[in-house]
Amino acid sequence: MRDWNVPPIRPPNSDLRSSRGASFATEAIGVTMKLMGWAIALAAAGLTPAAASAQAPQPAQPQAISAPAAAAPAPAATPAPADAAAAPAPAPSIDYAAPSANVGVPIPGRKGIQEQVTALGQQAADFHNGPLLIMCFLISAFVLLLLGYTMVRYRRGANPTPSRTSHNTMIEVIWTLVPVLVLVAIAIPSIRLIRAQYSPPPADVTVKVIGNQWYWTYQYPDNGGIEVVSNMLKEQKDVKAGDRYRTDADGPPLLAADERLVIPAGKIVKFIVTSNDVIHAFAIPAFWTKIDANPGRLNETWVKVDRPGVYFGQCSELCGARHGFMPIAVEVVPEATFNAWLASKGGTPKGAKPSTEAAPVAAAPAPTGDNAVAPAEGTTNQAATAQN
Asked if residue 259 is part of any domain, the answer here is yes
High-pLDDT (> 90) share of the chain, %: 49
pLDDT of amino acid 271: 95
Asked, as a colleague might, if the bond just before 302 is cis with ω within 30 of 0, I would say no
The CATH number of whichever domain residue 220 belongs to comes to 2.60.40.420
Q: How far apart are CA 274 and CA 298, in angstroms?
A: 5
Distances in Å between the Cα of 381 and the Cα atoms of 83, 361, 372, 384 are: 19, 7, 18, 5
Asked if residue 173 is part of any domain, the answer here is no
Mean pLDDT of 265-277: 95
Asked if residue 27 is part of any domain, the answer here is no
Asked if residue 336 is part of any domain, the answer here is yes
Asked if residue 275 is part of any domain, the answer here is yes
- The per-residue pLDDT for range 124-150, each reduced to its tens digit, is 999 999 999 999 999 999 999 999 999
Asked if residue 263 is part of any domain, the answer here is yes
Mean pLDDT of 194-221: 93
Q: How far apart are CA 211 and CA 325, in angstroms?
A: 12
Mean pLDDT of 285-307: 94
Number of domains in the chain: 1
The answer to whether the CB of 307 falls within 8 A of the CB of 265 is yes
Asked if residue 177 is part of any domain, the answer here is no
Task: Please give the residue range of the domain that contains residue 273.
Answer: 205-344
Asked if residue 328 is part of any domain, the answer here is yes
Which residues are CB-neighbours of 25 under 8 A, at least 6 positions away? 11, 12, 13, 14, 16, 17
The average confidence (pLDDT) of the chain is 76
Lowest mean pLDDT among 223-237, 308-322, 343-357: 343-357
